[in-house]
């Protein structure tokens, strides 16, 4: 084949051009830290990269939600704990009052403590996380007791959503209930307390009073849960909260692990392998230099240089 | 009997011939770097021998040579390589333009990144999760409104920018058509010169070269076929004649006559990159190419119409631009992407609004649309009061987050109308498709360029000037010239002997 100068310079130009574009690509990889910079560099990596980004953002958001869920459950747990303590004290007082050595004055005094505890329990029923009443179902803007000190006020069970669950997303498609519906629970407690007060005030005998501790109370107004039932309900609610706390902790761990996994996959997917990129860059540089120097030598020389 | 001075004549013819060859060598060296130049060669032939048979012809032993002459000066060219070169140029023109169109689209979509539609989507869903945790928090609601606006604006922005580029491509179609028309006119004008010169026996090598450069340029735009038509009169046997150019079997150039192309849109107006539909800022897609009757100047009558379906696949820049700009009822890189984005926007607005309408806002409002619009162009947030975000599924429950939970779940909900993907995975698949197309275009363009280089080298191997070769030829011709001159001296000396030395015996 006949080879001419223009062929040599054409080849050299194109090869130098290719070499430049390779170097520019590696340079871009090193500088941006990413293997690809546009979808056509590698469509699969690009699409995967988009999905990973969405995943990471989702996990971040779920982790934030997790914090919110924890503060609800922790507060609920603590509040229910206080309710339990209060009920224990009520039991002590009732046991004491059931003793027939007490005069009705003594029972009046006991009753005043009972009244105080009732107020305290109503305050607990109005517990807030941030500006939200946690026992008001989904009607978080409204307390269960609009005025805790008003005598004989029942929890406002008629408020819309008072018995609703309040859920928070903690994972794709998984939402966990973070509240404990308080209106029924506190209503029962309140009614029980009311009955106890009434008993103490009515001059009932010790036997009648002691009955209020265990069995449900039957009065002219209907049947009311007794202390054991109420206490049992509180414990059940608290156990439920504990179980959910465990679940959230587990989800939290899972999210942490997933965050690490997804970040790692994302990095493997699109981050520049610096060792490889720099090695490639150096190799490409030497090729480029060789091409330049050989090219410069070859295209200069013709027969003209050698004939007189 | 031969003439006394015949030897002088013989050597003179040699002198002239070698001189012609030397001058041609000089011409080659001068044009060593001229684009499209083919090296030229003097076709040498010996003159008819002496004597020619006839009644009065001299009786000689043998047939005495009388020297040499330049029969013709011919360019060294391989038409077959030219054809290959133009075929590859067709592909290169197509894929280069395609690479450019797609890479511009990629620049606008900016994926994968923290600035594209995908990120706007993610931010929007994220903003909802904050309402999930704090349904009555006005700040969180305001953030969701802003993120919704950001998402809508991402759609608007991409729609506007894609249409702008589509318009630029339309303009490029117009410019390319003009360029093609100009090339056709120039080729016809060269044909005309050739038609004038060739019948007189001349071989217009440099005009052929100029014409071949134009045909090469033309084949960047269109896949054309050519046919040589020999000139009449006293044309040399190495004369190439005029070139007739066909596109899809229709004459574009015939001798000095040429046709003009018009690229028309579906409405029959020229494609020019101007907005055709003010309402959507859209463009009327490509309809057909009309080719006028050839003439000088071309006739106004239309000789042929070429529909999209008649155009060769993957050949020529014009076809590539049309593929990007849009044709045949919504096909093409840009219209398809725009339509898909519209579909995504419409589905998203519909689904989101349906879910949003079912809920209740803080102010008790219900049945309120969150977004308006049905396309990527007009999608916008409909509500301005953050209280109207329907987070609750019951009226009057400010802490109820059930509806916003449902809205947030739309992120991972599979949409039957979006090929069974979620909103985001549908968008991701659009970007993926674009990437695959882009990758193909880059690869094909690279391959076509490599192939064309190799063919260009083949062509250069035949036609381009090698300085080494010209130097060698120069020495050859120079030596031959010198030898002829020396021969004349020899003849001169023999004549001197006869004229001045004879008949002077003893002097």
To the nearest whole number, what is the mean pLDDT of chain B?
Answer: 92
pLDDT at A220: 56
Q: Please name the residue of chain B whose CA is at the shortest distance from the CA of residue A12.
A: B453
Q: How far apart are CA A74 and CA B115, in angstroms?
A: 38
pLDDT at A308: 66
Give the model confidence (pLDDT) of B268-278 as tens digits.
Answer: 999 998 898 88
Chain A closest CA to B495's CA: distance in Å? 36
> Could A5 and B132 be called an inter-chain contact, meaning their C-beta atoms sit closer than 8 Å?
no
> Could A139 and B396 be called an inter-chain contact, meaning their C-beta atoms sit closer than 8 Å?
yes
List the single best residue of A40, A62, A67, A71 to mutate versus B (max B Cβ within 10 A). Answer: A40
> Could B112 and A61 be called an inter-chain contact, meaning their C-beta atoms sit closer than 8 Å?
no
> Could B136 and A132 be called an inter-chain contact, meaning their C-beta atoms sit closer than 8 Å?
yes
> Could B129 and A172 be called an inter-chain contact, meaning their C-beta atoms sit closer than 8 Å?
no
- In three-state form (DSSP H/G/I as H, E/B as E, the rest C), the secondary structure along B422-437 is CHHHHHHHHHHHHHHH
> Could B428 and A50 be called an inter-chain contact, meaning their C-beta atoms sit closer than 8 Å?
yes
- Which tokens is B466 given? 């090698």
> Could A5 and B32 be called an inter-chain contact, meaning their C-beta atoms sit closer than 8 Å?
yes
Q: Say which residue the tokens 């903003």 belong to.
A: B127
Q: Is the pLDDT of residue B393 over 90?
A: no
> Could A161 and B400 be called an inter-chain contact, meaning their C-beta atoms sit closer than 8 Å?
yes
Chain A closest CA to B412's CA: distance in Å? 8
| Rounded (10°) angle between helices B205-221 and B79-109 | 30
Provide the whole-model pTM: 0.83
Least confident interval from A5-19, B67-81, B221-235, B444-458 = A5-19
pLDDT at A155: 59
Q: Please name the residue of chain B whose CA is at the shortest distance from the CA of residue A165.
A: B400
Cβ contacts of B433 on chain A, cutoff 8 Å: 43
Short-list A285, A299, A301, A281, CA closest to A13? A299
pLDDT at A222: 60
pLDDT at B54: 81
Q: Say which residue the tokens 């003209």 belong to.
A: A304
Residue B442 — φ and ψ, nearest 5°?
Answer: -60, -45
Chain A closest CA to B474's CA: distance in Å? 11
Of A1, A46, A141, which has the smallest distance from its Cβ to B435's Cβ? A46
Give the model confidence (pLDDT) of A150-190 as tens digits.
Answer: 655 565 556 667 788 888 888 877 888 998 888 888 888 88
ipTM: 0.75
> Could B130 and A64 be called an inter-chain contact, meaning their C-beta atoms sit closer than 8 Å?
yes
Which of the four pLDDT bands, split at 50, 70 and 90, describes residue B130? confident
Percent of chain B with pLDDT over 90: 77
Q: How far apart are CA B424 and CA B441, in angstroms?
A: 25
Cβ contacts of A164 on chain B, cutoff 8 Å: 394, 397, 400, 402
Of B109, B424, B461, which has the smallest distance from its Cβ to A4's Cβ? B461
Cβ contacts of B125 on chain A, cutoff 8 Å: 58, 61
Of A2, A140, A160, which has the smallest distance from its Cβ to B466's Cβ? A2
Chain A closest CA to B50's CA: distance in Å? 39
Give the model confidence (pLDDT) of B161-172 as tens digits.
Answer: 999 999 999 999
Contacts of B23 (CB under 8 A, 6+ apart): none
pLDDT at A78: 94
Helix (H, G, I), strand (E, B) or coil at A164: coil
Contacts of B344 (CB under 8 A, 6+ apart): B376, B418, B423, B426, B427, B430
Least confident interval from A213-222, B386-395, B483-492 = A213-222
Q: How far apart are CA B440 and CA B455, in angstroms?
A: 22
> Could B114 and A53 be called an inter-chain contact, meaning their C-beta atoms sit closer than 8 Å?
yes
Q: What is the DSSP string of A260-301?
A: HHHHHHHHHHHB--HHHHHHHHHHHHHHHHHHHHHHHHHHH-
pLDDT at A221: 59
List the single best residue of B114, B131, B135, B397 to mutate versus A (max A Cβ within 10 A). Answer: B397
> Could B467 and A1 be called an inter-chain contact, meaning their C-beta atoms sit closer than 8 Å?
no
- Each residue's pLDDT expressed in tens, for chain A with a length of 308 residues: 888 888 888 888 888 888 998 999 899 899 989 888 888 888 998 889 888 988 899 899 899 889 889 999 999 999 999 999 999 898 888 888 888 888 888 888 888 898 889 888 888 988 888 888 888 888 887 888 876 666 555 655 566 677 888 888 888 778 889 988 888 888 888 888 888 888 888 777 777 777 766 666 665 556 667 788 888 889 999 999 999 999 999 989 999 999 999 999 999 988 999 999 999 999 999 999 998 888 888 777 777 788 76
Highest mean pLDDT among A97-101, A186-190, B178-182, B449-453: B178-182
pLDDT at A212: 65
Contacts of B504 (CB under 8 A, 6+ apart): none
Q: Is the pLDDT of residue B498 over 90?
A: no
Q: How far apart are CA B193 and CA B207, in angstroms?
A: 8
- Give me the total of CB pairs closer than 8 Å, taking one residue from chain A and one from chain B: 195
pLDDT at B243: 95
> Could B397 and A132 be called an inter-chain contact, meaning their C-beta atoms sit closer than 8 Å?
no
Chain A closest CA to B122's CA: distance in Å? 6
Chain A closest CA to B382's CA: distance in Å? 26
- Give the residue with greater pLDDT, A96 vs B25: B25
pLDDT at A148: 63
């Amino acid at each position: 084949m006949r080879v001419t100068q223009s062929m040599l310079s054409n080849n050299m130009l194109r090869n130098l051009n290719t070499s430049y574009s390779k170097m520019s690509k590696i340079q871009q990889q090193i500088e941006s830290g990413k293997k690809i910079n546009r979808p056509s560099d590698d469509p699969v990596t690009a699409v995967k990269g988009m999905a990973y980004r969405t995943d990471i953002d989702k996990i971040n958001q779920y982790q934030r939600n997790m914090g919110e869920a924890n503060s609800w459950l922790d507060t609920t747990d603590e509040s229910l704990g206080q309710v339990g303590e209060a009920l224990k004290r009520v039991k002590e007082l009732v046991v004491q009052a059931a003793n027939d050595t007490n005069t009705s004055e003594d029972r009046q005094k006991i009753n005043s403590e009972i009244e105080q505890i009732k107020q305290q329990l109503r305050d607990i029923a109005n517990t807030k996380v941030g500006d939200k009443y946690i026992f008001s179902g989904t009607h978080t803007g409204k307390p269960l007791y609009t005025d805790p000190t008003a005598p004989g006020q029942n929890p406002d069970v008629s408020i819309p959503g008072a018995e609703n669950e309040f859920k928070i997303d903690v994972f794709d498609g998984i939402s966990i209930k973070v509240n404990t519906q308080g209106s029924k629970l506190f209503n029962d407690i309140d009614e029980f307390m009311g009955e106890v007060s009434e008993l103490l005030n009515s001059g009932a005998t010790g036997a009648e009073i002691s009955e209020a501790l265990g069995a449900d109370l039957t009065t002219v107004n209907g049947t009311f849960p007794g202390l054991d039932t109420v206490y049992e309900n509180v414990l059940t609610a608290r156990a439920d909260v504990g179980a959910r706390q465990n679940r959230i902790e587990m989800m939290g761990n899972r999210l942490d692990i997933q965050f690490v996994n997804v970040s790692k996959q994302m990095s493997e997917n699109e981050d520049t392998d610096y060792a490889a990129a720099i090695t490639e860059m150096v190799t490409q540089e030497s090729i480029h230099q060789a091409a330049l120097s050989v090219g410069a030598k070859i295209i200069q020389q013709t027969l003209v240089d050698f004939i007189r | 009997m031969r003439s006394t001075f015949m030897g002088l004549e013989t050597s003179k013819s040699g002198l002239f011939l070698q001189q012609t060859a030397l001058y041609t060598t000089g011409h080659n060296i001068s044009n060593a770097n001229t684009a499209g130049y083919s090296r030229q060669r003097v076709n040498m032939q010996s003159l008819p021998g002496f004597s020619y048979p006839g009644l009065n012809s001299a009786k000689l032993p043998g047939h005495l040579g009388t020297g040499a002459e330049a029969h013709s000066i011919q360019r060294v060219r391989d038409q077959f390589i030219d054809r290959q070169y133009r075929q590859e140029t067709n592909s290169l023109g197509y894929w280069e333009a395609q690479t450019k169109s797609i890479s511009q689209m990629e620049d606008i979509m900016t994926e994968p990144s923290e600035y594209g539609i995908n990120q706007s989507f993610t931010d929007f869903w994220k903003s909802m999760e904050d309402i999930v945790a704090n349904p009555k928090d006005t700040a969180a609601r305001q953030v969701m409104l802003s993120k919704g606006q950001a998402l809508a604006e991402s759609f608007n922005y991409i729609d506007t920018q894609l249409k702008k580029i589509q318009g630029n491509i339309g303009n490029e179609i117009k410019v390319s058509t003009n360029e093609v028309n100009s090339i056709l006119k120039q080729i016809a004008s060269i044909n005309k010169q050739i038609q004038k010169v060739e019948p007189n026996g001349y071989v217009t090598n440099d005009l052929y070269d100029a014409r071949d450069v134009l045909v090469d340029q033309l084949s960047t735009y269109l896949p054309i076929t050519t046919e040589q038509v020999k000139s009449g009169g006293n044309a040399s046997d190495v004369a190439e004649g005029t070139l007739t150019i066909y596109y899809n079997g229709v004459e574009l150039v015939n001798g000095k006559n040429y046709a003009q192309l018009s690229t028309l849109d579906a409405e029959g107006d020229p494609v020019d990159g101007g907005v055709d539909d003010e309402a959507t800022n859209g463009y009327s897609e490509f309809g057909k190419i009309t080719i006028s009757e050839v003439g000088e100047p071309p006739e106004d009558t239309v000789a042929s119409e070429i529909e999209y379906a008649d155009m060769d696949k993957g050949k020529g820049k014009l076809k590539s631009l049309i593929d990007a700009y849009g044709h045949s009822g919504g096909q093409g890189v840009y219209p398809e992407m725009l339509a898909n984005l519209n579909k995504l926007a419409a589905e998203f607005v519909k689904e989101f609004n349906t879910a949003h309408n079912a809920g209740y806002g803080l102010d008790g409002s219900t049945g309120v649309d969150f977004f308006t619009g049905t396309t990527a162009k007009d999608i916008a947030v409909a509500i301005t009061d953050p209280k109207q975000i329907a987070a609750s599924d019951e009226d009057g429950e400010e802490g109820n987050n059930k509806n916003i939970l449902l809205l947030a779940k739309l992120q991972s909900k599979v949409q039957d109308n979006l090929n069974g993907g979620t909103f985001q995975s549908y968008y991701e698949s659009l970007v993926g498709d674009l990437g695959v197309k882009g990758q193909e275009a880059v690869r094909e363009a690279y391959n076509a360029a490599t192939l064309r280089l190799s063919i260009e080298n083949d062509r250069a191997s035949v036609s381009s000037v090698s300085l080494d070769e010209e130097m060698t030829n120069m020495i050859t011709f120079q030596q031959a010239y010198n030898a002829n001159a020396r021969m004349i001296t020899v003849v001169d000396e023999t004549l001197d002997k006869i004229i001045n030395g004879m008949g002077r015996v003893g002097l």
